[in-house]
Structure 1
Amino acid sequence: MFETREAAHACPTGDVVIAQDPASGLVRNIAYEPGILCYDETYQNEQGNSPQFRDHLDQVLAKVTSAFGSRDILEIGCGKGLFVELMRDRGLRARGIDDAYEGHAPYIEKRHFGAAVETCVDAIVLRHVLEHIPDPQGFLHLIAAANGHRGLIYIEVPCFDWIMRNRAWFDVFYEHVNYFRLDDFHRLFGQVNDSGHLFGGQYLYAIADLSSLRTELPASARIDFPADFTRALDSLAEQALAAPLRRRVIWGAAAKGVMFSHFLGHRGVAFDAAVDINPGKQGRYLASSGLRVASPEQVLDGLPPGSDIYVMNSNYLPEVSEAGGNLFRYIPVDKT
């Protein structure tokens, strides 16, 4: 997020070239340059303001509670600390570490997790972190070494099989260096106690034993990337350009909203605003497009009936349509 439209327009950009490593079988962006991104206190990725996402967190919390029980838990990359707080509210002995942490809780370290950190806990939580790490295997081995090659780990990442199957172009973006399939974690670890899918299939999770982390991975099936992966972009742009006078807003100012506004903007489609319920994003601007982010109340009160609301994630469609009522056209981008 950027403080001014000019800064958003001038933001650094990079290429995305998806490829499968022939040795490990893992999928990554081979054009990724780590110096382009900076994860600091201005990085706003908190989704806990959404009732739908809180339902998802409740499901994750149930799995973590069942798997880890009364063990000492460390969440690496805990962000603003929401899930740490949820675990502690459930009675779990949880703490966190993240150099982008903004609060003052004594059980969360505002610190980068690296080789100098010794964890000494019974269980690790790694939610939506591994996809951002340039060397995911190396990072997992770093975690294992820091914890004495013992303990359990809960890993949650976006599901690349879901992305390919649904032609989810909006889930391929620069912040995500890696793209995982469920089979990857069964190859990374010799012992996986539980695994599966969450959040309508968009996420996958694995609970594994750190002592079973492999150095060399078994063979992997070759990915078959769909040739028509971006077909929905052209279709959505054509529909929008056919009604040039209709007002349009984007609901969801996370990575999907950034990608959608960027790609459709390059196809000549203009939007009035982006909506997000996260107060930390409101009043700021989306990268590249420079679209201003506002609260639902600010946008809906002045939006003419019949306007288009592009919902970035259909998991949130019920709460979006409840907020806007039957006055608008709701277009779930991930279902187009």
Structure 2
Amino acid sequence: MAYELYRAAGLPVLQNRTFADAATARASASGDMLLVQDEHSGLVHNQAFDPDLLSYDSDYQNEQALSPAFKAHLEAVEGVVAKHFSGRSLIEVGCGKGYFLEQLRGHGYDIVGIDPAYEGDSPDVIKAPFTRDSGLTADAVIMRHVLEHIRDPLSFLAEIAAANQGGLIYIEVPCLDWILENRVWFDVFYEHVNYFRIEDFRRLFGTVLEAGHLFGGQYLYVVADLASLRQAPLEPGPRVLMPTDFLHSIEHAVQIIQAAPERGSAIWGAASKGVIYSLFLQRAGVAVDQVIDINPAKQGRYLPLSGLRVSSPEEARLTLPEGANLFVMNSRYLEEIKRMSDGRYSYHAVDTHSF
């Protein structure tokens, strides 16, 4: 049995895939969200998830390391890695474009990576999904923002533990508690089938060496002993309580845009949060004039389902009026966004409860 928490229809199946034209973007694949908590495991997942709808390739763009704020986050992660994994051989499962892997290698770590969306030519990265047959073993495993994408996270962790014959693991995922506390409904999307709390990992592993929060509480992390992975959590854990006002900020954003349409409006951030936010605003009857992103791989391309075009900060500056309403998808980037845009807009950090 599972307890229903939240549902949403027609979400992009890969919100970080961009398209060459608006028509193709609007016709891209969609799926439904039925967020539930399993009464036996206590884990939260999308019961309507269909993994066959997902296919990661070079059109999938989720590189965040262009931001100074995110680079600072990766330095914090490296601090945790150094504390527990110094001198150990490492595997990064789901290494993405390889930025963090290269950062660790630059600091002397013996590390290899694996990811089907990898675009580089490093001999230390396998361009494929991780399986037990990948032939990779090391003293420790790093897995950042992967487990939320896996339909059966327990089986996947067991696969890693068996393939690696134990060792330590660093896991980093979005924090469900932060999403709920700040009413960040736009951080719930199809590509993330699982949503975790720290207590979930304390029930999954018998030995957790360290656990905490990073990136202003948005992410949680654990360092655990793979050999202590349990076949099932010891107990369900506490029930997840959805805020009754979880979606309240949609109406607030609509009011801001409709109150002064001549001022213009834009979203800063064309990654997951911005894709969902812009789509829901569009469905609520309003549309922003711009979606802005600093990632050159996204600029000039179009977002799934909404069909909105992504502008560079320089392009937006030429067309977006001074004083326009700018909806900032991630408050961790707010100060650098203000600096990049010379403080010329009216800024709204939409991932704060006060918005």
Whether TM-score is above 0.5 comes out as yes
Identity %: 52
Offset from partner CA, 1:214-258 (integer Å, 9 cap, x none): 002111111111121101111111221222222111110001110
Task: Determine the C-alpha separation between the residues in 2 that align with 1:328 and 1:226.
Answer: 31
Q: What displacement does 1:270 show? A: 1.6
In structure 2, the residue matched to 1:125 is: 142
Written as runs of structure 1 = structure 2, the 5 A alignment for 1:99-248 is 99-148=116-165, 150-219=166-235, 220-248=237-265
Residue type matched to 1:186 in 2?
R
Aligned-partner Cα distance in 2 for 1:127–1:242: 41
Q: Aligned runs of 1:269-288 on 2, under 5 Å? A: 269-288=286-305
Q: Residue 78 of structure 1: SS of its match in structure 2?
A: coil
1:43 is aligned to 2:60: yes
Query: What's the TM-score once normalised by structure 1's chain length?
Result: 0.98
Report deviation, 1:187: 0.6
SS of residue matched to 1:61: helix
1:306 to 319, 323, 328: 323
The SS at the match of 2:201 is: helix
Partner of 1:260: 277
Q: Which residue of 1 aligns with 2:8?
A: none
Give the AA of the match of 1:208: A
Q: Deviations over 1:150-206 (max 9, x none)?
A: 110000000001111111101111110000000011111000001000000000000
Partner of 1:94: 111
- Structure 1 spans left out of the alignment, 5+ residues: none
Higher mean alpha-carbon deviation, 171-180 vs 275-284, is at: 275-284
Report how far residue 54 of structure 1 moved: 0.3
Pairwise CA distance, 1:11: 1.0
Q: Deviations over 1:110-151 (max 9, x none)?
A: 122113123220000000000000000010000001111x11
Match of 1:319 among 329, 336, 343: 336
Contact 1:241 1:268 in 2 (8 A): no
Structure 2, unaligned runs of 5 or more: 1-17
Q: Which amino acid aligns with 1:90?
A: H
Cα displacement (A) at 1:60: 0.2
Count matched residues.
335
Deviates more, 1:29-38 or 1:201-210: 29-38
Q: Secondary structure at the match of 2:97?
A: coil
Q: Give the Cα–Cα distance (whole angstroms) in 2 for the partners of residues 245 and 251 of structure 1.
A: 19
Counterpart for residue 7 of structure 2: none
SS at match of 1:245: helix
The answer to whether the 8 Å contact 1:65/1:92 transfers is no
- Counterpart Cα distance in 1 of 2:190 and 2:128: 23
* Secondary structure at the counterpart of residue 327 of structure 1: coil
- Contact conserved, 2:91 with 2:137, CA < 8 A, in 1? no
4+ residue runs of structure 1 moved beyond 4 angstroms?
none
- Residue 15 of structure 2 corresponds to which residue in structure 1? none
Q: What are the superposed Cα offsets for residues 39-96 of structure 1, whole Å, 9 maximum, x if unpaired? A: 1111101100000000000000111112100100000010100010000011111110
Q: Quick one: distance in 2 between partners of 1:30 and 1:183?
A: 21
Q: Greater shift after overlay, 325-334 or 188-197?
A: 325-334
Q: Distance in 2 between matches of 1:327 and 1:319?
A: 13
Q: Supply the AA of the counterpart residue of 1:275.
A: I
Please give the TM-score of this superposition, normalised by the length of structure 2.
0.93
Aligned-residue RMSD, C-alpha: 1.0
* 2:71 match: 54
Hey, what's the Cα distance between the residues in 2 that align with 1:162 and 1:57? 19
| In structure 2, C-alpha distance between the alignment counterparts of 1:143 and 1:304, rounded to whole Å | 51
Please say if residues 257 and 325 of structure 2, whose CA atoms lie closer than 8 Å, have aligned partners that are also in contact.
no
Letter in 1 for 2:202: H
1:29-40 mapped onto 2 (5 Å cutoff): 29-40=46-57
Whether 1:28 and 2:45 are equivalent positions in the alignment is yes
Q: Please state how far the C-alpha of 1:326 moved relative to its aligned partner.
A: 2.8
Question: In structure 2, what is the Cα distance between the partners aligned to 1:270 and 1:246?
Answer: 13
What's 1:13 paired with?
Answer: 30
- Name 2:3's counterpart in structure 1: none
Aligned equivalents of 1:294, 1:215: Cα separation in 2: 47
Query: How many Å separate the matches in 2 of 1:322 and 1:69?
Result: 36
